[in-house]
């Protein structure tokens, strides 16, 4: 064997001994895939919000429409709240109260305000699916959650125009479903916790069917949001997501 052949052979053997991790996924790639799995061209759903506290249980029902990653409209159908609407479009969120014909715009920390006295905030119900626009992301390893192998990620807000300065989320490595999350202030004070109780498969994607939210600023209170129906990629009138339609 010539010296040249020996050198080539030794080089190849060294390369074979180096562990290759070309398939390693980055934190940003996880978030992009997670957002994509939750985004449809359009959707229509119906569901309920059940809040349980020391005064008992309260149930509110709703119907909701979405378009892409940022447009959503929620209209409450329960007797006490009938006709109240929440519109999120072009980065802004609006509330409409039919009795007073009042239109209110929310932004920043106001997005953390409670929806109908529940543990859900306006951000929780209308969160846009463009996470990397608002957060930097760090991958903190893996953890098993309810039998599911999950990526553990910490999200840190880029600006103050978000509801939660810090988010810690557990993302399923196979389905990219967020099984649980913890939301905190910039100083690390826990504001809220979320966990998925049940799932539904739609268009080949695993999505939350029943989600439990606990506002840590409240005592003995929890809210479960449940979907009754969900249709995706259906024809929708684009006027649904306009201020003119909101006040109609």
Q: What is the pLDDT of residues 123-150, one digit of tens each?
A: 899 988 999 999 999 999 999 999 999 9
- The answer to whether 199 and 177 are in contact (CB under 8 A) is yes
What is the structure's pLDDT at 100?
86
Per-residue pLDDT tens for 191-234? 999 999 999 999 999 999 999 999 999 999 999 999 999 999 99
- CB burial of 186-204 (b: ≥16 within 10 Å; e: otherwise) equals eeeeebbbbbbeebeebee
Q: What is the 3-state secondary structure (H, E, C) of 104-160?
A: EEECHHHHHCECCCCCCEHHHHHCCCCHHHHEEEEEEEEEEECCEEEEEEEEEECCC
The overall pTM is greater than 0.85:
yes
Who contacts 143 (Cβ-Cβ below 8 Å, separation ≥6)?
150, 152, 170
In this prediction, residue 16 carries a pLDDT of 47
Q: What's the pLDDT at 19?
A: 43
Q: What is the distance between the alpha carbons of residues 112 and 191, in angstroms, rounded to a whole number? A: 10
The whole-number pLDDT of residue 101 equals 86
């Amino acid at each position: 064997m010539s010296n040249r052949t020996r050198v080539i052979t030794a080089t190849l053997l060294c390369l074979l001994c180096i562990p290759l991790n070309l398939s390693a996924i980055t934190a940003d790639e996880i978030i992009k895939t997670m957002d994509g799995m939750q985004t449809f061209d359009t959707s229509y759903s119906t569901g309920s919000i059940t809040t349980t506290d020391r005064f008992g249980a309260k149930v509110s029902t709703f119907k909701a429409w979405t378009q892409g990653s940022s447009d959503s409209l929620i209209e409450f159908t329960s007797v006490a709240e009938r006709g109240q609407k929440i519109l999120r479009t072009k980065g802004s969120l609006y509330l409409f109260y039919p009795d007073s014909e009042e239109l209110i715009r929310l932004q920043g920390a106001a997005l953390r305000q409670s929806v109908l006295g529940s543990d859900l905030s306006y951000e929780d119900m209308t969160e846009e699916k463009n996470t990397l626009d608002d957060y930097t992301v760090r991958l903190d390893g893996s953890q098993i959650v309810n039998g599911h192998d999950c990526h553990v990620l910490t999200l840190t807000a880029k600006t103050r125009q978000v509801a939660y300065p810090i988010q810690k989320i557990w993302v399923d490595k196979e389905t990219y479903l967020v099984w649980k999350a913890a939301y905190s202030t910039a100083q690390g004070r826990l504001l809220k916790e979320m966990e998925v109780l049940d799932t539904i498969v739609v268009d080949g994607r695993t999505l939350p069917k029943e989600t439990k939210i606990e506002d840590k600023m409240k005592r003995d209170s929890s809210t479960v949001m449940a979907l009754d129906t969900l249709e995706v990629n259906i024809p929708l009138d684009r006027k649904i997501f306009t201020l003119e339609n909101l006040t109609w």
